Amino acid sequence: MDHPRRKLTRKKSISYAKWGYIFIAPFFITYLFFTLIPQFLTVYNSFFESYRVGLKQIGPTFVGFRNYADLFSPDSSGTVLILKYAWNTLVIWFIGALPQFVVALLLAVLFTSTRLNIRGQGFFKTVIYMPNLIMAAAFSMLFFTLFSRVGPIQALLEQWGVVDQSFDFFSYKVTVRGMIALMNFLMWFGNTTIVLMAGIMGIDQTLFEAAKIDGANSVQVFFRVTMPLLMPIFVYCLITAMIGGVQMFDVPQILTKGSGQPNETARTLVMYLNGYLTNKNYGMAGAISVIIFIITGVLGGFVYKMLSAQYKTDKTPHRRARG
Amino acid sequence: MKKVFVVLMVIAMVFLAVSCSKGKTETATKATTQGKVFNIYAWNEEFKGFFEKYYTVPEGVTVNWIINPSDNGIYQSKLDEALLNQANAAADDKIDMFLAEADYIGKYVDSEYTMDISKIGFTNASTQYEYTIKAASDSNGVCKGVSFQCCPAAVIYRKSIAKDVLGTDNPAEVQALIDTWEKFDAVAAQAKAKGYYMTASFAETFRTFSNNCTKPWVDANDKLQFDDMINAWIDQTENYIKNGYTLTAGVWDQEKTNQMFKDGKTMCFFGPAWYYNFCMTNAMDPVQGCVGDWCIVKGPQAYFWGGTWLLAATGSDNTEMLKDIFETFTKNEDVCSKLVSNENQFPNNTKVVEKFANDPTYGNTAILDGQNDIAVFAGLAKDIKWENHTNYDQLLNEGLQNKLQEYFKGTVDKETAMKNFYQYIKETYPSIKL
């Protein structure tokens, strides 16, 4: 009696988990070698003075926190450059992200609405996603050509008498930042729409029906049913968009030919970092990377806390009722 | 476990492959056999065009061009990366030859990454311009490459506009009217009064000044120094912008090159012989262009601009071909003559230059009105001196122009523009003391 029983228990303990680990192993190995180790090396490098003068390597010499101190020491006019560039980055991101989320939410609601039942959705979804398929650098080059002093837009505006010949889109903070934000918006609103649509479609349809039967209008349904239940996906979208925003580089780099003109008001954090990479200044570039990492972490945490707090309150009375 | 083994095996194989190729190169350099792949690093297609037309590649050799743009120092940084890795690269991946400009040639010449060309059997000829040899020589006078062109630069002016403004389009008379900066400024005012621009870019005259600096950008103690000539350029440009004598476009901008069309309003452009093909294609446009409406004169001050040197990379396994290329583009009179007659270049061969300069039947009709430009350039070329150059020139010249452009456009004040320039130096060259 004992013998077969023991066999049975042994069979029960057979685990297929190892296959799971084996299948996810390639990702983790790649991640370890190509992301995690380099990340630690970046932090490590940020404590060294290490750059090239021509073909000569200077350093690496351990300098402690000197690179960080340099980054936060004000220049001759009293500006702390890294803060200025961080501010530029956030402002440009914000003016692009605001319409991005408003438009994406609107489109997602319209497309998923059973009342409207829009036809040809596949077509529209493809079209709004299209700009994302263009390489950012190419898109940026296109804008540069369109808005340049000898470009078609300038010619058109001159013809209409809106601007005169001396006008230059690239001489004004507002227009340059606006162009970058517009490009980011065009490139990303389609992507956000599709993710938010998936989120809305994941919400139980009976909730919408129940709300309607209770007499809720569309606006009420949106704010009282859709948004609270969409919150996890929305926060995810917002945080990923923000991470992408803090790392904004290719669009402004190409548009302003690396200068961040006018007066460096379109220079982002990663463009600043890239400036140091001209001569392989891994110390300073490392320090900036670490700061970007911290900024991303803090902002991400802040958004998560702020938005998901609202989402969690829905659960509290439930828990209380139980307890 | 198996998976782990596979990963380990892959890593082991990669290491093996790397160490194998290392071993291979060592034997290859010992052997006298020549390589099968000839790698050339360049920053544009200009030399590639001449190379493909006038050089016959030995049978069995493939030429591999690696071209990166020079803006923002991209070319230099890609080249540096490859040169630093040169010792470890497989024989066929090693750079054999690379191109360098006047602005940074010293960095490569004064390094172990270029080799003595006398070691590969090339001897400099008396027909090469002296400054081109000096530029390609290290501090001990060891020559590491050759230039296929010589770049005396001049003022290229629109005849029709000169006629309207000055009442003459004759080169000798025009030269007499603009042979000093004071006279040049006065003519600029005249041109403005007639509705023309004197130059089409705020940085058009930059090279004329920077080339006549009496001290280098950076001194022996790594301290940045502003030459009086650079300040003179800034003063002149301030004046030109204020009075509307010039445009705020950069030297390479389309806004400037559009001024070379027939309906352009600009009288003077500053450039050497390579400028025709490289910058003046708008002027040569069959419909909108104005071929034949151009002449060249020395202008207010002699200078040279640019130049493309061909440097021999240490570790090249194609030394015979290297020598052959150097000879073709400096000593082969037939090729050098074709560079003049077919390509409007100014070659690095005094004998060929003299031949064209003294040939009454020769005239440049590709863009000029049939004027013998070689004779004008030849007169300027003999005085070119190679001095006050540093390895930092390209990015400092480029940076200064970019930052000051914003000032000239009126976006920022001068103080801010200069502050941005100093900040740029701090980021680009931390070793330079400001």
CA distances to A54, A87, A105, A185, A243 from A102, rounded to whole Å, are: 49, 22, 5, 11, 19
CATH number of A59-316: 1.10.3720.10
Torsion sign across C-alpha atoms A23, A26, A29, A32: negative
ipTM for the predicted complex comes to: 0.81
For residue range B38-90, what is the model confidence (pLDDT) as tens digits? 999 999 998 999 999 999 888 889 999 999 998 878 898 899 989 988 888 88
Q: Which residues contact B384 (CB under 8 A, 6 or more apart)?
A: B129, B131, B150, B152, B302, B304
Minimum CA–CA partner of A280 in chain B = B77
Put simply, the answer to whether B429 touches A279 (Cβ < 8 Å) is yes
Question: How close is the nearest chain B Cα to the Cα of A247, in Å?
Answer: 19
Put simply, the answer to whether B406 touches A261 (Cβ < 8 Å) is yes
What the block records as the tokens of A93 is 């991101």
Identify all chain B residues contacting A148, using CB atoms and an 8 Å cutoff.
254-255
User: What is the average pLDDT score of chain B?
Assistant: 88
Residue B77 contacts A, CB cutoff 8 Å: yes
CA angle, corner B197, sides to B194 and B201, nearest 5?
A: 175
pLDDT at residue B26 is higher than 50 = no
CA end-to-end distance (rounded Å), chain A? 47
Read out DSSP for A17-68? HHHHHHHHHHHHHHHIIIIIHHHHHHHHHTTEEEEEETTEEEEEEE-TTHHH
CA end-to-end distance (rounded Å), chain B? 59
Q: Which residues contact B426 (CB under 8 A, 6 or more apart)?
A: B434
pLDDT-based confidence at residue A307 (cuts at 50, 70, 90)? confident
Put simply, the answer to whether B410 touches A276 (Cβ < 8 Å) is no
Q: Count contacts between A and B (CB, < 8 Å).
A: 81
Rounded to an integer, the average pLDDT of B91-101 is 91
For residue range B357-388, what is the model confidence (pLDDT) as tens digits? 999 999 998 899 999 999 999 999 888 888 88
> Residue A151 — φ and ψ, nearest 5°?
-85, 170
Q: Tell me, what's the pLDDT at B155?
A: 94
What percentage of chain B carries pLDDT values higher than 90? 57
Put simply, the answer to whether A22 touches B3 (Cβ < 8 Å) is yes
Q: Is B37 helix (H, G, I), strand (E, B) or coil?
A: strand
Q: Tell me, what's the pLDDT at A302?
A: 87
Residue B227 contacts A, CB cutoff 8 Å: no
pLDDT at residue B10 is higher than 70 = no
CA distances to B77, B208, B305, B306, B388 from B147, rounded to whole Å, are: 22, 21, 13, 11, 19
| Strands in chain A per DSSP E | 48-53, 56-62
DSSP β-bridge partners for residue B99: B310
pLDDT-based confidence at residue B20 (cuts at 50, 70, 90)? very low
Q: Which of A149, A272, A282 to mutate to test the interface with B (most CBs of B within 10 A)?
A: A149
Who among B403, B424, B428 is closest to A279 (CB)? B428
Residue A85: which of A323, A315, A256, A304 has the closest Cα?
A256
Put simply, the answer to whether B7 touches A29 (Cβ < 8 Å) is yes
pLDDT-based confidence at residue B23 (cuts at 50, 70, 90)? very low
Minimum CA–CA partner of B424 in chain A = A275
**CB B278, CB B46: distance < 8 Å:** yes
**CB B237, CB B209: distance < 8 Å:** no
Where is B312: in which H helix or E strand?
strand B308-312
How many residues can be counted in chain B? 434
Q: Is A137 helix (H, G, I), strand (E, B) or coil?
A: helix
Rounded to an integer, the average pLDDT of B414-426 is 91
Put simply, the answer to whether B255 touches A150 (Cβ < 8 Å) is yes
Q: Tell me, what's the pLDDT at A313?
A: 52
**CB B390, CB B135: distance < 8 Å:** no
Residue A264 contacts B, CB cutoff 8 Å: yes
Identify all chain A residues contacting B107, using CB atoms and an 8 Å cutoff.
54-55
Identify all chain B residues contacting A58, using CB atoms and an 8 Å cutoff.
430-431
For residue range A159-218, what is the model confidence (pLDDT) as tens digits? 898 888 778 888 889 999 999 999 999 999 999 999 999 999 999 989 999 998 999 898
Put simply, the answer to whether A76 touches B406 (Cβ < 8 Å) is no
Torsion sign across C-alpha atoms A72, A78, A79, A81: negative
How many residues can be counted in chain A? 323
Put simply, the answer to whether A262 touches B406 (Cβ < 8 Å) is yes
pLDDT at residue A322 is higher than 90 = no
Question: How close is the nearest chain B Cα to the Cα of A140, in Å?
Answer: 17
Q: Which amino acid is at A311?
A: Y
Minimum CA–CA partner of B409 in chain A = A171
pLDDT-based confidence at residue A323 (cuts at 50, 70, 90)? very low
Q: Which residues contact B160 (CB under 8 A, 6 or more apart)?
A: B169, B290, B293
Rounded to an integer, the average pLDDT of A257-280 is 89
